[in-house]
Amino acid sequence: MRDRVLVFDTTLRDGEQSPGASMTINDKLMLARQLERLNVDVIEAGFPISSEGDFESVKRIAKEAKTATIAGLARAGKMDIDRCWEAVRFAKKPRIHVFIATSDIHLKYKLKKTRKEVLKAARDAVRYAKSLCPDVEFSAEDATRSDLRFLGEVVQAVIGEGADVVNIPDTVGYTFPTEYGATIRYLRENVPNIREAVLSVHCHNDLGLAVANSLSAIQNGARQVECTVNGIGERAGNASLEEIVMALRTRKDLFSIDTRVNSRELYPSSQMVTNLTGMKVQANKAIVGKNAFAHEAGIHQDGMIKEKLTYEILRPETVGIKESKLIMGKHSGRHALRKKYLELGFKLSDAELEKAYVLFKKVADKKKEVFDEDLIVTVRDALRIAPPVYKLKNIQSTAGNQVIATATVALEKEGRLSRDSAIGDGPVDSALKAIDRITGVEGKLVEYSVHSVTGGRDAVGEVFMKVDFGKASFIGKAASLDIVDASARAYLDAVNKMIHYKMTLDTHNGNARRKKAPAARKKIAAV
Ligand code: KIV
Ligand code: ZN
């Protein structure tokens, strides 16, 4: 048996069947390139006969793919198979994936065929596909609700016709891990020619068991797993690629078998799928969710600071996330607070930490999450620093589809007016660049959202943004009738916080140095 699990990604086919997840040809090409970086073995690029767009994207992906096998889906009929071959034939490694349902429910209500007719259709389809393409996969749709002996008969017949891969889909997400494992084992033990093909699994998540079922199948001998990035797909979705890959890798002791996936590309792939489909993953989604590596409880944060193994079974870097996050909230303790201040550049003495901790707890009682800026305000208040701020006096911007976006901004600081202009990618970008030119502080927008506070065409827009300045990031908020004005004010809000931060840091570090100096003098005197 193979000593590796092949990863068959169907984000572009079954994943795209998610309600509201359709992608353009260019989106699909971009995702296919990312899937190759992820190093999946097979990319199911689409269902060529289903539309002109699907046909074109499968063909373009087939032409461009460098390493992965490119599969196209086809029903068990000549027309589908021909169309599929026309699209995948350009690939270095093409595959035709034919399917027909085998459950009595599908036979009676959907296909209106007898078992004998389905068996023949499956055979004919594989034989014909094999006459065109060297690599053919057969799927027995609704396999988990099919009669096991009939399923075995179909599997044996299609392997006899040359199927290289036989897939046993849990089309409606009905099976359970023990049951699915037993099905795979049954096929391995009872189909005489089973070793001539790779056994594949394809699970849907209707009962939330798609990943568990896939893993159970692998434990019982399946060697290809069909899955999607972020688990998107029909209804409740397909088995999530990132969860399967990391489960196998994290529990080598249970599986002693792995995939070839480059796990550092998991998070970038997840982000790309979110951005292309607009389908966000839930915060607590395993592996790629916003909270997957975030720790808030004081006991957990303390454990994490001492040894990450205490509360993390895998490192975020291995899936392409920069690092685990300590979320500062009412459950956080002194250890986490000291670490957070150190990250922000404040080396607090025990007495200072104690003062900051009392203030921090007051803020944390009122807010769900305490941001960097809240912590800085706490220290700033203790040091009584009131730095000057920039105020937006006026802003003028020009943009359109035929002109280069330009903005001119006037800012006031301590009664003095400064004015500058910049060009950029759109009116907001040029306004922010003009602000950077005046303040000398440059931030990177990591989050940006606008929502209307009131209704109608003359609605007031509220802008929220998170700006990264390297060492710390700050939130900026502002509202205005004009989106560019609101964006500039929100950005300036974050820039002012950054300036406060720098001044507070300089003052604190200056104080700390002055306190240390007498001790240093004493040492010199003693020498
Ligand atoms: O869920 C399913 O049965 C499928 C097949 C076409 C493989 O997606
Ligand atoms: Zn499916």
Per-residue confidence (pLDDT) for residue 495, from 0 to 100: 93
Shortest CA distance to 316 belongs to which of 326, 328, 306, 331? 326
Tell me how far the alpha carbon of residue 262 lies from the centroid of ligand 1, in angstroms.
Answer: 26
Please report which confidence band the pLDDT of residue 98 belongs to, taking 50, 70 and 90 as the band edges. Answer: very high
* pLDDT of 523 above 50: no
Q: Please compute the mean of the pLDDT values over residues 467-495 and round it to a whole number.
A: 89
* pLDDT of 104 above 90: yes
* Entry pTM: 0.78
Per-residue confidence (pLDDT) for residue 128, from 0 to 100: 98
Please report which confidence band the pLDDT of residue 519 belongs to, taking 50, 70 and 90 as the band edges. Answer: very low
Which ligand 1 atom is nearest residue 13's CA?
8
Which ligand 1 atom is nearest residue 17's CA?
8
Output the residue whose Cα is nearest ligand 1's atom 2. 171
In whole angstroms, what is the distance from residue 134 CA to residue 428 CA?
53
- In the chain, where does the domain assigned CATH 3.20.20.70 lie? 6-277
In whole angstroms, what is the distance from residue 43 CA to residue 303 CA?
41
Shortest CA distance to 397 belongs to which of 388, 386, 409? 409
* pLDDT of 165 above 80: yes
Could you give the percent of the chain with pLDDT greater than 70? 95
Residue 341 in contact with ligand 1 by CB distance below 6 A: no
- In the chain, where does the domain assigned CATH 3.30.160.270 lie? 391-507
Please report which confidence band the pLDDT of residue 516 belongs to, taking 50, 70 and 90 as the band edges. Answer: low
SS3 call for 289? coil
Under 8 Å between Cβ of 378 and 369: no
Using most ligand atoms within 8 A of CB, pick from 84, 96, 99, 136 the residue to mutate for ligand 1.
99
Residue 139 in contact with ligand 1 by CB distance below 6 A: yes
Q: What is the DSSP letter of 314?
A: S
Tell me how far the alpha carbon of residue 33 lies from the centroid of ligand 1, in angstroms.
Answer: 24
The pLDDT mean for the chain works out to: 91
Residue 16 in contact with ligand 1 by CB distance below 6 A: no
How many other C-beta atoms lie within 10 A of the C-beta of residue 523? 9
Task: Tokens 């799927």: give the residue.
Answer: 139
Task: Tokens 């003359």: give the residue.
Answer: 458
Point out the ligand nearest to the CA of residue 168. 1
Tell me how far the alpha carbon of residue 139 lies from the centroid of ligand 2, in angstroms.
Answer: 10
In whole angstroms, what is the distance from residue 505 CA to residue 282 CA?
36
Distances (CA, A) of 117 to 98, 102, 108, 163: 16, 10, 12, 19
Task: Tokens 């009664």: give the residue.
Answer: 415
Residue 202 in contact with ligand 1 by CB distance below 6 A: yes
Which ligand 1 atom is nearest residue 142's CA?
3
Tell me how far the alpha carbon of residue 121 lies from the centroid of ligand 2, in angstroms.
Answer: 20
Task: Average the pLDDT over each of 16-25, 47-56, 377-386, 505-514 and give the range with the smallest value.
Answer: 377-386
Q: Please compute the mean of the pLDDT values over residues 39-49 and round it to a whole number.
A: 98
Shortest CA distance to 335 belongs to which of 304, 359, 302, 361? 302
Per-residue confidence (pLDDT) for residue 164, from 0 to 100: 98
Q: Which residue has the higher pLDDT, 204 or 323?
A: 204
Does domain 6-277 fall into CATH 3.20.20.70?
yes
User: What DSSP line would sit under 451-491, residue for residue?
Assistant: EESS-STTPPEEEEEEEE-SS-EEEEEEEESSHHHHHHHHH
Using most ligand atoms within 8 A of CB, pick from 10, 202, 238 the residue to mutate for ligand 1.
202
Task: Average the pLDDT over each of 126-140, 302-316, 354-368, 403-417 and give the range with the smallest value.
Answer: 354-368
Which ligand 1 atom is nearest residue 14's CA?
8
SS3 call for 437? helix
Side-chain half-sphere of 373: how many Cα atoms within 13 Å?
17
The CATH H-level (homologous superfamily) assignment of domain 391-507 is Alpha-isopropylmalate synthase LeuA, regulatory domain (3.30.160.270)
Please report which confidence band the pLDDT of residue 141 belongs to, taking 50, 70 and 90 as the band edges. Answer: very high
Helix (H) or strand (E) run with residue 271 in it: helix 266-277
Residue 47 in contact with ligand 1 by CB distance below 6 A: no
Residue 171 in contact with ligand 1 by CB distance below 6 A: yes
Q: Which residue has the higher pLDDT, 324 or 4?
A: 4
Per-residue confidence (pLDDT) for residue 527, from 0 to 100: 30
